[in-house]
Amino acid sequence: MFLPASSISNASKTTVATPLILASSSPYRRELLSRLRIPFFTVSPDVDETPLQGEDPRSLALRLAHAKAQIVATKYPGHIVIGADQAASLHGTPIGKPGDQASAQRQLRTLSGQTVVFHSAMSVALDQHIQTVEVPTICVFRTLTDAAINRYLAIDTPFDTAGSAKAESLGIALMQSMESSDPTSIIGLPLIALTRLLTDFGLDPLDHAEMN
């Protein structure tokens, strides 16, 4: 059973059926959430993702995840809403999405042999109640030749991905090592942390996952 916002800290109160919403248009996050086998639908949040002046990547990811969940939760009262965002940094400097092949080439040349932190932030909201977490992933890139970079970009076309590396695909081969407490965090939706948050909201996947 699902807990309304007023009942999150008191499981003895009346419960209501609460639909689940993913506040994202990302196919990668949609695929990840489907692994929990709980019915959901997606809503694209209308959020300006421009960083604030002086805002570091971690703070940016946390702010946007919170905003996405909050905006959609306001439009869909009584629903459990998941908002997520990811930002990457190299020595504290933000790393954005390349947008095109030339930018991706330059980005991967810069990241070759370097350590990059991917900050995956996530918020779960139900009406006025919201919880937000951040799960970092520390990635050490291999030393990459131009030939390897060009072949990778031709195969994976990661132009909509921060760091020009799709870790759920061939981009994993760009890595020398990867460290995180949550293996799906690098893809943009930390499922271990999400399971914990959903359980706090009365939606434990082990209780609510569909058989088929």
Taking a C-beta distance cutoff of 8 angstroms, is the pair 152, 173 a contact?
Answer: yes
Neighbours of 93 (CB within 10 A): 10
Interior angle at CA 57, CA 109 and CA 184, nearest 5? 80
CA–CA distance, 169 with 4 (Å, rounded to integer) = 38
Q: Which two tokens stand for residue 67?
A: 């905003």
Please state, in angstroms and as integers, the Cα–Cα distance from residue 116 to each residue in 77, 119, 150, following that order.
38, 10, 20
What DSSP state is assigned to residue 143?
A: P
User: Which H or E element spans position 84?
Assistant: strand 80-90
CA–CA distance, 118 with 195 (Å, rounded to integer) = 20
Q: Which two tokens stand for residue 73?
A: 């939760």
Q: Which residues are catalytic?
A: 85
Taking a C-beta distance cutoff of 8 angstroms, is the pair 83, 24 a contact?
Answer: yes
CA 146 to chain centre: 29
